[in-house]
Amino acid sequence: MASKKKGNIEKIALKCSECGRRNYTTTKNRRNIQGKLEFSKYCRFDQKHTLHKESKIK
């Protein structure tokens, strides 16, 4: 079976604004969302909810 090309969908990492670690990964559709994503998620290293911002996966 041939796999479909996902086009504008790419994988991104979510980086904690407090400790700087990349705790989560997700996908993003560039066509629908032009800006950077920001979520309030739980950071297990800080043991609290912090702001996580989009960063590239290396």
Can you list the domains of the chain with their CATH numbers?
Answer: 9-55 (2.20.28.120)
Residue 53: per-residue pLDDT: 96
**Which residues of the chain, if any, have pLDDT below 50?**
none
Residue 23: burial class (beta carbons within 10 Å; 0-12, 13-18, 19+): middle
Residue 8: per-residue pLDDT: 86
Residue 57: burial class (beta carbons within 10 Å; 0-12, 13-18, 19+): exposed
Residue 1: per-residue pLDDT: 58
Residue 4: per-residue pLDDT: 65
> Torsion-angle region of residue 51: left (phi > 0), alpha (psi -120 to 50) or beta?
beta
